[in-house]
Amino acid sequence: MTGTVTRAFEIARAGTCKNVEDIKRQLKREGYSSVDEHLNGPTIKKQLAAAILAA
């Protein structure tokens, strides 16, 4: 299984999610654990938001 953060960026770049919360929900559906712990920092949220916008 891909790492949580790596998979979060894959999802963000795919253009299927509108925000970080959507990414978190998708990761949880895919069976990833500790999603909130991995994606709650301000820097990672900004990076994921930028990836979503660029998609």
> Consecutive 10-residue runs of the chain (55 residues): their mean pLDDT?
94 97 98 96 97 96
Domain of residue 49 covers 4-54
| pTM value surpassing 0.85 | yes
Q: Residue 33 carries which side chain, given as an amino acid letter?
A: S
pLDDT at 24: 98
pLDDT for 47:
98
Q: What is the pLDDT of residue 48?
A: 98
The reported pLDDT for the residue numbered 55 is 92
Q: What is the per-residue burial (b if ≥16 Cβ within 10 Å, else e) of 5-43?
A: bebbbebbeeeebeebeebbebbeeeebeebeebbeeee
Q: How many domains does the chain have?
A: 1
